Amino acid sequence: MSEPPGAAVPLASAPPAEEPPGPSSPPRTARPAEAERPGDGTAPRPPAAQRVLPLHRPGRWIATAIVLVLVAQIAHGLVTNPFYQWDRFRYWFLRPAILDGLLITLKVTAYSAVLGLFGGILVALGRLSRSPVLRAVAWTYTWLFRSVPLIVVLLFLYNFSALYKTLSLGVPFGPAFLTFDESRLATDIVVAVVGLTLNEAAYASEVVRSGILAVDHGQHEAALALGLPKSYQFTKIVFPQALRSITPNYVNLLINLIKSTSLVFYVSLLDLFGSAQSMGSTYPGDIVPLLLVATVWYLILTSAVSVVQFYVERYFARGATRTLPPTPLQKVRAGLRDLRARARREAAI
């Protein structure tokens, strides 16, 4: 924010300072909260000659102008280019077919995220275990499911589930499958959730493991020295501290997961992307607005996750920092307060 040139007082013509402003000159009225803030209307005015003028930065203004023009062009293109067919976008955005797909995406994501996190915690504990067998099994699991592309896992499971009835008895995960009825949709959702969970757990285990390793060794020792039961050491001492570094990494995975659900289209499940795609093949003229509908919904989901992330991180920051990071509302309030203080200061000078 630069000053208009007229406001500048040439240094040479300024009268000499009579009294240097400083902490020794008390403000005349005492509003305790603001008494020491410079530029409060009641404080003695600093002599104009001593006012420090901010440096002019023309380069910054030019760069800002160029970027603003570019942004305006893109926005203008988005709004006016007939290619996007915004009227069709509006038509499709809340169509039941799309909302059904959105629901499937939400369901698959939610199940896989929760199961994947629990699976990841178990695999991470396996890798940190003292038993070489558990360590090896956990390592192999992570290695396998990080190596195989998700789409391959999904298609494998899809074909596997077609043969399922003949295999049902000997499989350890059997009961979970059998609780669902024979309707095709339920089975597809199960296939999708199992596939995504297997994949998610492999990545989540590494995130959880890194979080646990990041907890100071002294914390383990203190918990041991107090004789805290083993489960309590993990759930109340180590894991809550690990969550602080797990959260941002796991949210990354979660956002990736939301987008990965679009692959379930290939196991004939109509998620958000799948519905847009299938509507697009029925109405070939509407492919672009349908893709826009999917894009905007994915943006909304990711934004919602980011908001939750902020508050979760803030919650786990308790004790890790001396003061909690401000919420957006607090930031806005602080910004307004600064602006008002600045205005008062300007008025005082």
Partner 1 sequence: MTTETTETGTTEIRPAAVQVHDVHKWYGAHQVLDGVELTVWPGEVTVILGPSGSGKSTLLRVINHLEKPEVGYVSVNGEPIGVRRHGERLKELSERVILGQRSRIGFVFQNFNLFPHLTALDNVAAAPVATGKLAKPKAQELARELLGRVGLADKVGAYPRQLSGGQQQRVAIARALALRPGVILFDEPTSALDPELVGDVLAVIKDLATSGTTLIIVTHEIGFAREVADRIVFIDGGRIVEQGPPTELLDHPKHERTRDFLSKVL
Residues that bind partner 1 (CB under 8 A): 216, 218-219, 221-222, 224-230, 232, 236-237, 240-241, 316, 318-322
CA distance 40 to 240: 45
To partner 1, the closest distance from the beta carbon of 268 in angstroms equals: 46
To partner 1, the closest distance from the beta carbon of 230 in angstroms equals: 7
| Per-residue tokens: 111 | 């199940």
> Based on CB atoms, which residue is closest to partner 1, 37 or 236?
236
Q: Is 321 helix (H, G, I), strand (E, B) or coil?
A: strand
CA distance 196 to 34: 56
Amino acid at 140: T
To partner 1, the closest distance from the beta carbon of 93 in angstroms equals: 43
Residues contacting residue 197 through CB under 8 Å, at least 6 positions apart: 111, 112, 115, 116, 119
CA distance 9 to 57: 19
> Based on CB atoms, which residue is closest to partner 1, 187 or 241?
241
To partner 1, the closest distance from the beta carbon of 239 in angstroms equals: 10
> Based on CB atoms, which residue is closest to partner 1, 220 or 345?
220
> Based on CB atoms, which residue is closest to partner 1, 40 or 313?
313
> Based on CB atoms, which residue is closest to partner 1, 237 or 348?
237
> Based on CB atoms, which residue is closest to partner 1, 74 or 226?
226
To partner 1, the closest distance from the beta carbon of 319 in angstroms equals: 4
With contact defined as beta carbons under 8 Å apart, do 123 and 138 qualify? yes
- H helix or E strand, kind and range, residue 228: none
> Based on CB atoms, which residue is closest to partner 1, 223 or 263?
223
To partner 1, the closest distance from the beta carbon of 242 in angstroms equals: 10
Amino acid at 23: P
With contact defined as beta carbons under 8 Å apart, do 60 and 46 qualify? no
Q: What is the largest CA-CA distance in the chain?
A: 99
CA distance 98 to 131: 49
Burial 273-284 (b: 16+ CB within 10 A, else e): bbbbbebbeeee
> Based on CB atoms, which residue is closest to partner 1, 46 or 211?
211
> Based on CB atoms, which residue is closest to partner 1, 166 or 231?
231
Where do runs of H (alpha helix) occur along the chain? 58-80, 86-93, 96-128, 132-147, 150-162, 164-167, 174-178, 184-213, 217-225, 230-232, 239-260, 272-282, 287-316, 328-348
To partner 1, the closest distance from the beta carbon of 238 in angstroms equals: 10
To partner 1, the closest distance from the beta carbon of 104 in angstroms equals: 37
CA torsion sign, 169 to 172 to 175 to 176? negative
To partner 1, the closest distance from the beta carbon of 125 in angstroms equals: 15
